[in-house]
Structure 1
Amino acid sequence: MLIREDFPSVYATTTRGAERQRQRFEQVLDRLNEGLLTGSIRNVEMKDVKRWCSDIARDLWDEKVSDVHFNSGKYQNLSEDLRDFYYSITIMGIHSLSSIDKKLKKTKLDHPMIDAMRSLTAELMPLATTIDSLKAGVVMGRAPSTEPPKPVNPNKVVKTCPCCQRAIAVVGGTMAHHGYERRGNGWQTQSCPGIRFPPIEVSSAGLKWMIESHEDCLKHTIKLQAEKDSVKSLPINIAGNVVTITPDSSRWRNSFRAYEERLDRDITWYTDDLVMMRKRLADWKPEVAPAKEDDSPSP
């Protein structure tokens, strides 16, 4: 079981902030411990836990390693081997600790910076190994509601949203209000654009709009990728707060690499989505409503 006393650095940094920071730490441990006991964890909870642990890992690495031994000109006192070793490590998230641990076990370098790396990695590794052990037990979807089921509306019409392809109620000829989560990166909005269109069984207008929208997004992302070397600032999330960093920040190297990877990933996703949607449009046919029986009296 994971207890907070096993993570003194995490506890110290969370207690320095607002009370909700410490509560989030306790909540993460509770979720992981419950997962260890039951052998399963909901996908939405796993995403939340990984995100929080990754933020903490990056924050503590900056605090315990970079700021103490490398930043603000301290790197000038390090040997070339130590500098190269520092540059060989990238904290992309909690999952990075496994490879860092292997590098630390192999290196023969002896320096307080290496000691700090080993100490922090050893402290955080139980979080990484627990998360990794729970991968096979991830349960998709949210936990079932314990509230009594809502009464079924016999007049409710459910069709396919042309934008997110989910089964959604139809209200006044268009899709009822619902959220939209993009495949792959989990980007979500409060309103799916499908609410402006009829269901796909009736019209291909929403699908055509999605194709045009994805084409515009793909062009924009390719443009960003071509201009990435001219980027001078990036917004990042630090413990729930969005801040802007510049190239002189200790976080810049890792954040810029993540920015590059996100652009590559988005280009792949937009391209794959367009192939799928264009095929769907090429094969599209309106749903033919069944003919109604003639109830008029016989002549």
Structure 2
Amino acid sequence: MSEKRDFSSEYPSLFQSQASERQADRIIAALEIIHGGNEQGSIRNADYVDAKDTLSRAVGSGWDEIQKLYLSVIRGRDDRFDPVARAASELYYGPVSGLHDVLSLRKKIAKAEKAGLSGTDFQTFLEGADRFEKELVGLAGIVRALKQKVVKGRAPRPEPVPVNPDQVRGTCPVCFSNQAIRNGTLVHHGYQRPGEGYQTESCAGIRFRPFERSVEGTEAMIESLNKKIAKCQNALADRENWLSVTMLKSVRKSAEFPNGYKLVEILRGADGWKAAYAEKVREWQAKQRQAETNLAFYEQKKTEWKLEPLRKADGTILPLDFEG
């Protein structure tokens, strides 16, 4: 925005009923986003929605304060159903719960004036509503017009500045994440298995040099996956000889079974054997398919491998023979 504006003075109705400084700060931030978008001629959709919601809640709270002016009068009246009281009641109950409602508030005020509220004990309430509308109708119009200038999504986040720009980093040959290097190998890090998504506490890649320097870690994964596939194939080939299967069964959570599962062994011929057998076959088949998918991933990486330089956290390229 071109200059700093005193929003608390410009829109006092949005702030007078706020219970905390934190809420006031949110309103100021929302106003800066809306007015900034209006000046620039565009606004990110996510920012627009968040700002509009914040301001609409503030409008609703501000109107609650105006309604108190009506309540202070109506509580002292014996006849709440004469024409003037009815007109005041209609203005009171006319919903102003957000910015959109401010755009139609002038018609309700004009109707109340025509009904004769001016000069009565509801005059203060009428003046409060009039002041409220004049203060916020311009803002409501800006927000409505900005809807036509929305750009989808949030603004791209700037690249984070590295805490240690001189830190040497490389690619893990097992999980292929970018990690720090110490004494030629990768530092301890978790492992999100490619293609499967689940996380483990430690990645086997810490035993190897980074992928830029060696394909050894990737080759170790290929060997491991081939063994896993062979194990699945052998288990499935021998399934007609299975005498029992072990399954996880859902049980009530307790001190003994805090996760709500327990291992149960189901013998061939026992109740539930057919379903348990079929489920165990599907389990082995799924393991084999996943291992084959991962194997293809690692074999492709091995095919693409070439010696490359390591880099510092700030992007500086290090000599090709630098090992970290």
Q: TM-score scaled by structure 1?
A: 0.45
Q: TM-score scaled by structure 2?
A: 0.42
